[in-house]
Amino acid sequence: MNLTQEDWVSQLEADANAVILDVRTENECNEGIIPNAINIDIYEGQAFIDKIEALDKSKNYYVYCRSGARSAKACAIMNNLGFENAYNLEGGFLEWNGEIE
* Separation CA 27–CA 25 (nearest Å): 5
Element (H or E) spanning 61, and its range? strand 60-64
Catalytic residue among 65, 74, 78, 89: 65
Q: Sheet harboring 86-89: ordered strands across?
A: 2-3, 86-89, 60-64, 18-22, 38-39
Distance between terminal CA atoms of the chain?
25
Asked about 29 being catalytic, the answer comes back as no
Q: How many CB atoms lie within 10 A of CB 96?
A: 18
State the catalytic residues: 65
